[in-house]
Amino acid sequence: MTSGLLIINTGDGKGKTTAALGMAFRAMGQGMRVCMIQFLKGSWKYGELESAKRFEDLLEWHVCGRGFTWQSDNIEEDKRVAREAWDLARSVIAENRHGMVILDELTYLITYGVLEIETVADALRNRPPEMHVAVTGRGAHSQLVDMADLVTEMTLIKHPFEQGVKAQKGIEF
């Protein structure tokens, strides 16, 4: 029996969600069921969602946000939707049907005060012992970092956006 790990991908650099998806593909390759819950990403079309359709037997995917919160037209609605997504995440964890659960951009819910750190920490501490959980997002709370088994910080060194290059299919979406 394996011991479930708490994994955090944080930092200002690109690649936090991409790294978590790499672990998801590795887990699915071993026959493990994976659930991805995205807390902020909205309804715009991006490549990962199209690819996910090909793995419906092993990959459950929930896009729960209304888009990027800093561009919001209704922050209170964003908070309500984010709390509903957290309720979904807690039930997915409690159901214990997945070997890995990815909580994409969860760190922002703590940073923006939508969720209390203790609420999140308790749920992660009390997950099924064999379940791997990956949390992504900038500015991971120090309490999450302390309780995690693996923490990777992506560091931005250079990004094409700084040179005026817009987001591109297959790279950013």
Q: Is residue 1 part of a domain?
A: no
| Whole-number Å distance between alpha carbons of 128 and 116 | 21
Q: Helix or strand or coil: residue 71?
A: helix
Please state the pTM of the whole predicted model.
0.92
Q: Is residue 98 part of a domain?
A: yes
Q: Is residue 28 part of a domain?
A: yes
| Whole-number Å distance between alpha carbons of 78 and 168 | 26
**pLDDT of amino acid 141:** 98
Q: Is residue 173 part of a domain?
A: no
| Whole-number Å distance between alpha carbons of 59 and 53 | 8
**pLDDT of amino acid 73:** 75
> Mean pLDDT, consecutive 10-residue segments, the chain of 173 residues?
90 95 96 95 72 89 74 79 95 98 96 95 98 98 98 93 84 77
Which residues touch 61 (CB under 8 Å, ≥6 apart)? 35, 36, 38, 49, 52
Q: Is residue 171 part of a domain?
A: no
**DSSP-assigned beta bridge partners for residue 133:** 6, 101
The residue segments making up the domain with residue 74 are 6-163
Q: In CATH, what number is assigned to the domain containing residue 48? A: 3.40.50.300
Number of domains in the chain: 1
Q: Is residue 113 part of a domain?
A: yes
